[in-house]
Amino acid sequence: MPNPYRGQLVSRVGTEHIFEVDSTTTHWWEFPSSARARTLVFVHGFRGDHHGLQLFADALPEYRILIPDIPAFGKSSTWPTGLSSIDDYGRWLRAFLAATHSANNVVLGHSFGSVVVANALRGARKTPIVLVNPISQRALTGPKRIAAALAALWYAVGRVLPERLGSAWLGNPLFVRVMSEMLTKSRNPALRLWIHDQHARYFSSYSDRDSLVAAFTVSTTSTVADYAAQVHAPVLLIVADRDDITPLDAQRAIRQDFLDAELRVLEGVGHLVHYENPIETAAAIREFLARHSE
């Protein structure tokens, strides 16, 4: 399906790399720029993979971009002993940054990736952090708490079914499409179809059923609010006024918990900012980083 941003963005081609990080086989993609380009590391959300943040890379061609598939998703493996908490993801991200010599580079997290970033980068740090659609309150307290409860039931059923049947249940295309329809706010028919196609292609790429269910539990019980006060770096919060996962008032509230945070509100979009408004998002990132030069 054709990219609806063709003509507005130039699609960049990433180079795939593979290495062992924190006992996982991590696949990551490098989108090069000029030799002196600043490096940004992107961390995608729950059930996504690196494809989900491709448009951000396309919209920020002046930067060198690194995008890993986080453990248990995309091509990356889970931990040999399984996933137990958000701390596993935080530890993995710190190890990935060290392995790619990126500890002092800008890190961006979208959705669940925002929680991973906030967990990983607590403490003294001068390099900026960007959190897009941050998860600032627990899922079952949000505006779509009934839908969240139904999703929790869906994963609970998938967990108790025999593994093969459970995997088919959790990857059911109808479930993926319903989720996509709920989260997509754009009324542009071409863009909506493209977003649904992206979810159909990449939303059910995960290492195994048990890791997926464990990651769902982690993603619905951990929030950026748990770590905001411990994050000392300059932070840009990019939020949406129609986000069904975290409402705007919760995003405004969490800004006060950070030592140094700015809030940018995008209007007319929801939780899929990375699909629905990558150009304005990139402009906000570019402007923020220009004021926080290396």
* CB-neighbour burial class of residue 81 (10 A; exposed 0-12, middle 13-18, buried 19+): exposed
Contact 121, 102 (CB under 8 A): no
pTM assigned to the model: 0.95
How would residue 197 be classed by pLDDT, with cut points 50, 70 and 90?
A: very high
pLDDT at site 143: 58
* CB-neighbour burial class of residue 239 (10 A; exposed 0-12, middle 13-18, buried 19+): buried
User: Over 60: is that where the pLDDT of 142 sits?
Assistant: no
Residues 6+ apart with CB under 8 A from 208: 72, 78, 167
Q: 3.40.50.300, 3.30.565.10, 3.40.50.1820, 2.60.40.1260: which CATH number matches 15-290?
A: 3.40.50.1820
pLDDT at site 140: 60
Computed over every residue of the chain, the mean pLDDT equals 93
pLDDT at site 223: 96
- Starting at the edge strand found earlier in the chain, the sheet holding 261-266 runs 15-21, 24-31, 64-68, 39-43, 106-110, 129-132, 235-240, 261-266
